[in-house]
Structure 1
């Protein structure tokens, strides 16, 4: 399998690599096979890496997909291209608000850009770090929690073992899939996911697809 990382993870660089990782995951835990049978094989989702990708993750927090895309497009226009540390810091608060960013997100993105500019965190440093350690390192950035860090690692860097165990949809999907009395707790889901290393991020995409398929079938908005 191509894209092997020093930590034993796989870099999910393309759909072919993702398919290979998914096959390896299903061999590790056959309990996931019925989920894939019901929801289908997920399609790899990737975003831009580095500061531009992290910006996209922050922008998308607590927004619909459509709203996040619209704001990201306006932000790219306001900054003259994909966000960079320099272009974000050079933009006025008025320009960022006009793009659709809320005051808290402006503070978060400005704080992140300043921390990166000062060298307090190096986004390239996470490449050689184990997924959980990489997520913890990224939380040194202002306004970045573990969920955001894991989403960045999974979708922007293609880290196969990044796993946002605090994600509500994953907790609900795990509860449904494994016959729990309710949704899994964050700690419970993290414990379950230990069986999926180094493909926890692939399992997350299986669970998201399963969550969406079940709710679509029952008429519940996803």
Structure 2
């Protein structure tokens, strides 16, 4: 299991500038990256990730609570498939997000995607499986891999917070290319998740 200590040792060796620039936040990192332990918890996390797309935290949490209530305070693939789209729309979901949630529920129910098994295969393979589901794009998949599965080597070059933090740390011009960001992040592998957490903390230490 990847540890904070191992990640920080690697970052100090591989990218001393990054290590120094983020030093104030090192102690705030979790000691271990621990993923959800059940398929039910992973399903709920994936639903939450989809709901949070392009929303602030407060709005996302409010809609998630309403969606869960509409499903009888339980989020399972069967209940998400059973509830009418109109009920999810009343809870605050767009048509696209409703279609995505029902596509996820269908894939999990028929076992075309086994969420727990994604913990044991390479990040790229896990991402590929998830992105076969309608409506799941790179950002949602990367957030799920980081925060629900606890995968250690994930970087999201499309996340604006990460982009802005990297521009500040490396004095990059605004609008730096995806390729440039990915190239820098390669130095952090196999600890890109910890590096991403540090980048977010430079933007918001909470």
**TM-score normalized by the length of structure 1:** 0.79
Give the superposition deviation at 1:203. Answer: 0.5
Q: Please, which runs of 5 or more residues in structure 1 have no aligned partner? A: 5-9, 11-16, 214-222
Relative to structure 1, the CA distance from residue 67 to residue 46 in structure 2 (aligned partners, 3 Å threshold; closer, same or farther) is: farther
Counterpart of 2:123? 131
Query: What is the distance in 1 between the residues matched to 2:28 and 2:132?
Result: 31
* 1:64 aligns with one of 56, 79, 83: 56
Aligned match for 1:32, one of 11, 15, 18: 18
Partner of 2:158: 166
Partner of 1:218: none
> 1:143 is paired with a residue of what secondary structure?
coil
The one of 158, 180, 188 equivalent to 1:196 is: 188
Q: 1:150 aligns with which of 139, 142, 153?
A: 142
Asked if the contact 1:57–1:151 (Cα under 8 Å) also holds between the matched residues in 2, the reply is: yes
Distance in structure 1 (CA, Å) of the matches to 2:142 and 2:120: 15
For residues 93-130 of structure 1, the C-alpha deviation after alignment (integer angstroms, 9 at most, x for no partner) is: 22212222121111110111112222322222311212
Deviation for aligned residue 1:53: 0.5
Number of aligned residue pairs: give it. 198
CA distance in 2, matches of 1:158, 1:47: 4
Query: What residue is the counterpart of 1:175 in the other structure?
Result: 167
Q: Which residue of 2 aligns with 1:116?
A: 108
Counterparts of 1:152 and 1:211, CA distance in 2: 21
Distance 1:47 1:158 in 2: 4
Kept in 2, the 8 Å contact 1:75–1:96? The answer is yes
- Provide the secondary structure at the position in 2 that maps to 1:120: coil
Q: Matches of 2:178 and 2:29 in 1, distance apart? A: 25
Cα gap change, 1:184/1:168 in structure 2, threshold over 3 Å: closer, same or farther? same
Secondary structure at the counterpart of residue 141 of structure 2: helix
Pick which of 160-169 and 139-148 moved more. 160-169
The Cα shift of 1:82 comes to 3.9
Pairwise CA RMSD: 2.3
Q: Please state how far the C-alpha of 1:148 moved relative to its aligned partner.
A: 0.9
Q: Distance in 2 between matches of 1:194 and 1:187?
A: 11
TM-score (norm 2): 0.85
> Is the aligned partner of 1:103 residue 2:98?
no
Please list, as runs of the form range in 1=range in 2, the aligned pairs for 1:199-214 lying within 5 A after superposition: 199-212=191-204
